[in-house]
């Protein structure tokens, strides 16, 4: 684990799933951490050694207020993690309601836009911004996930543009794009259930990933070991986007 001692970090969407696990690892690496989310996680935050702020990412003003309060508590940020997101059981594009589409885009795209828009002015020169994307918007997608994939693809291109725009200040901006990480709130637990067994066939390792297997890349990107990496979409997917793996062939008797 790379040291994050003396670094100030804000994890937007840090109250559950990957964001919570990442925030915990940042605390363990020595960072001063603030987590933000819609549900009250003050007890969890205190237990991990962080502070909590309530923030609805669909509210532009709440995103601004969260950034400003964090800076008032900690000083300018060294690390900003843009992790808040939601998924839905979409079905087909034709059958999915426009209202549901707008709700997903409001969190996943608009919320990310607000963070990319207002975050840089609250960052130190040389800081790191880490956007949580998805392989669904960076390499593959599937029927029934069109809006989610589009929202994450849009966020990935915001990330790329932000990387270019903020490079003169030495700020690097990257995306971590997970796939099939178990028990994140958007993915089932890997406990032998039928859905997990099916999903496990879709990557080269033949299993779902664990949350502790994704924190290392966030830690690396937050640390001073990654100062020449920017504008990248880094997939943590067990080889899912590399090609059709042996577990898939085995499942169909190939």
Q: Has 118 been annotated as catalytic? A: no
Task: Decide if 17 contacts 84 (C-beta within 8 A).
Answer: no
59 class by beta-carbon count within 10 Å (0-12 exposed, 13-18 middle, 19+ buried): middle
Phi and psi dihedrals of 62, rounded to 5? Answer: -65, -35
Q: Has 7 been annotated as catalytic? A: no
Phi and psi dihedrals of 209, rounded to 5? Answer: -85, 160
Residues counted in the chain: 254
Catalytic residue among 25, 151, 152, 218: 152
Q: Has 92 been annotated as catalytic? A: no
Catalytic residue among 148, 151, 200, 226: 148
Neighbours of 14 (CB within 10 A): 32
Tokens (6 digits) for 112: 């990310």
Catalytic residue among 16, 25, 128, 134: 134
Q: Catalytic residues, which ones?
A: 134, 148, 152
């Amino acid at each position: 684990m790379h040291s994050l001692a003396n670094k100030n970090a804000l994890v937007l969407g840090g109250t559950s799933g990957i964001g919570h696990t990442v925030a915990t690892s940042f605390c363990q690496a020595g960072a001063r951490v603030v987590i933000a989310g819609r549900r009250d996680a003050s007890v969890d935050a205190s237990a991990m050694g962080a502070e909590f702020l309530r923030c609805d990412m669909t509210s532009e003003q709440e995103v601004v207020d969260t950034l400003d309060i964090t800076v008032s508590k900690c000083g300018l940020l060294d690390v900003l993690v843009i992790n808040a997101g939601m998924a839905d059981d979409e079905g087909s594009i034709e059958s999915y309601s426009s209202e549901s589409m707008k709700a997903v885009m409001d969190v996943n795209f608009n919320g990310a836009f607000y963070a990319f828009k207002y975050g840089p002015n609250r960052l130190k020169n040389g800081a790191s911004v880490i956007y949580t994307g998805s392989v669904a918007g960076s390499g593959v997608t599937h029927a029934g996930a069109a809006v989610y994939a589009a929202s994450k693809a849009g966020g990935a291109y915001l990330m790329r543009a932000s990387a270019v725009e903020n490079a003169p200040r030495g700020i690097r901006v990257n995306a971590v794009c997970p796939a099939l990480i178990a028990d994140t709130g958007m993915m089932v637990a890997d406990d032998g259930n039928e859905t997990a067994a099916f999903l496990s066939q879709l990557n080269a390792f033949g299993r779902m990933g664990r949350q502790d297997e994704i924190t290392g890349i966030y830690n690396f990107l937050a640390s001073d070991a990654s100062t020449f990496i920017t504008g990248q979409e880094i997939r943590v997917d067990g080889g899912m986007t590399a090609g059709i793996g042996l577990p898939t062939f085995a499942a169909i008797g190939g």
